[in-house]
Amino acid sequence: MKIPLCKTNINTKESRAIEKVLKSGWLTDGPMNAKFEEAFAKYIGVKRALTLNSCTAALQLAMEASGITGEIILPSFTFVASANAAVKAGATPVFADIEYDTCNIDPIDIARKITPRTQAIMVVHYAGQACSMGKITKLAALHKLKIIEDSAETIGGTYKKQKTGSFSIGCFSFFPTKNITTGEGGMLTTNDRALADKIKTLAGHGITKNTYDRQYGQDPWFREASYAGYNFRMSGILAAIGIEQLKKLDAMNARRREHAAYLNKKLKFDEIDLPVELKECRHVYQMYTIKVKKVARRDFVLGLRKKGIMASVHFTPPVHLQQYYARKYKRLIHNLPVTERVANSIATLPMYPGLTKKELDYMINSVGKVLRSLKRRTV
């Protein structure tokens, strides 16, 4: 049996939506983008949402438009894009440790890392579960810090019934591994209309009006840049896919939660720690991650892959141990023991809405067999 790490839920509705855009002749940033933005903003519970070509672009623009050029505290246990966006925006990354159970940034260590140079906190909601936003928002208010939410992995997840991406500036990814996909693509959410307007302008070469809006003006060829911007826009084709995906999001997240509950019930092995869902959170399991103990994590993952289960690791090495960051920001990197412990033990099992009971049972049985074989090897 072959079980991929993830599988998209795309059908004829997405195909028809693409065809509609192709027939319209308007393939770039236009009516479909506006429709997707409106629906996404309503879903998250914010005033504005902006389609972009990636979550990385959203993170970079959020910091650049907010004027963050000093230190920004973020976890090292994240995909490197989180830190890359900070660097490209002109900020200095300062890495905080994480909590073992949730793999989310530790508010206690955030407090330790705050200096007079700190301007912002970037939270990364890991694998589908929100960070401890109550403690973090209080810290930010106390020290007058901005908050950027990297919610790439937690679309639809909540903290005390409030969706991630609505606490401050939210940044989302629609990569194929995420809870909904447009292939490539991202979204930025905010309640600050002036900030949203600035970000939209920066994303479109620094020109205030996009091509679709200009065509109805008196001089549609007139293009004046108010900023040195970028081309970070999402195409109308991808936005059309996103509209259809968003309609299915809650149902797909419910299936992920059902699968995770079944795995949590059946994966009772001393050699692994299971994911933890905090009582104030609603975990949407973009990934189902476990921590491997007493046996070699590499051998465990490779053993599953030999059985057709495409397990993986998210994330190793942590950002602070990657060559560029270890060299350039060495003086700012210290005391991340939990991050390094988790990075050396974490393993990701397949998780997507379309998993069948037969596949889940095969995965559970295979985990047991691999663990038993590795235990015999170490005796």
Q: What is the CATH number of the domain that holds 281?
A: 3.90.1150.10
| pLDDT score of 213 more than 60 | no
Residue 215 token pair = 């065509």
Question: What pLDDT was estimated at residue 333?
Answer: 76
* 214 and 339 belong to one structural domain: no
* 213 and 92 belong to one structural domain: yes
* 260 and 213 belong to one structural domain: no
Indicate the residue among 248, 267, 292 that finishes a domain.
248
**3-class SS of residue 369:** helix
Question: What pLDDT was estimated at residue 169?
Answer: 98
Q: How far apart are the first and last CA of the chain?
A: 30
* 235 and 373 belong to one structural domain: no
Provide the whole-model pTM: 0.95
* 220 and 253 belong to one structural domain: no
Residue-wise pLDDT for 268-296, tens only, equals: 999 999 999 999 999 999 999 999 999 99
* 205 and 327 belong to one structural domain: no
Show Cβ contacts of residue 133 under 8 Å, excluding neighbours closer than 6 positions.
123, 159, 160, 162, 167
Q: Is residue 3 part of a domain?
A: no
Percent of the chain with pLDDT over 90: 89
Question: What pLDDT was estimated at residue 29?
Answer: 85
**In the predicted model, what is the mean pLDDT of residues 204-230?**
67
Alpha carbon 338 to chain centroid, angstroms: 21
Question: What pLDDT was estimated at residue 94?
Answer: 96
Percent of the chain with pLDDT over 70: 95
- Residues recognised as catalytic: 178
**Phi, psi (rounded to 5 degrees) for 50:** -130, 125
* 60 and 207 belong to one structural domain: yes
Q: Binning pLDDT at 50, 70 and 90, where does residue 378 land?
A: low
| pLDDT score of 219 more than 60 | no
* 78 and 210 belong to one structural domain: yes
Question: What pLDDT was estimated at residue 220?
Answer: 63
**In the predicted model, what is the mean pLDDT of residues 56-64?**
98
Q: Binning pLDDT at 50, 70 and 90, where does residue 214 land?
A: very low
* 242 and 254 belong to one structural domain: no
| Residue among 120, 192, 183 nearest 150 (CA) | 120
Q: Number of helices (H) and strands (E), helices first, in the chain?
A: 13, 13
**In the predicted model, what is the mean pLDDT of residues 294-321?**
97
Dihedral, CA of residue 315, residue 50, residue 285 and residue 60, to nearest 10: 20
| pLDDT score of 208 more than 80 | no
- Cα gap 114→96, rounded to integer Å: 10
Residue-wise pLDDT for 337-369, tens only, equals: 999 999 999 999 999 999 999 999 999 999 999
* 131 and 274 belong to one structural domain: no
What burial letters (b/e) apply to 95-116, b meaning 16+ CB within 10 Å? bbbbbbbbbbbbbebbeebbee
Mean pLDDT of the chain: 94
Question: What pLDDT was estimated at residue 228?
Answer: 81
Among 22-31, 103-112, 155-164, 202-211, the minimum mean pLDDT is found in: 202-211
**In the predicted model, what is the mean pLDDT of residues 106-120?**
97
* 237 and 311 belong to one structural domain: no
Among 21-35, 40-54, 293-307, the minimum mean pLDDT is found in: 21-35
**3-class SS of residue 41:** helix
**In the predicted model, what is the mean pLDDT of residues 51-57?**
98
String of DSSP letters for 296-337: -HHHHHHHHHHTTB--B-S-SS-GGGSHHHHHHTGGG----H
The beta-strand segments (E) located in 71-117 are 71-75, 92-96
Question: What pLDDT was estimated at residue 22?
Answer: 95
Indicate the residue among 248, 279, 313 that finishes a domain.
248
How many structural domains comprise the chain? 2
Quote the domain boundaries for residue 295. Answer: 249-378
Q: Binning pLDDT at 50, 70 and 90, where does residue 154 land?
A: very high
214-223 long-range Cβ contacts below 8 angstroms, 24+ apart: none
Indicate the residue among 248, 276, 295 that finishes a domain.
248
* 39 and 171 belong to one structural domain: yes
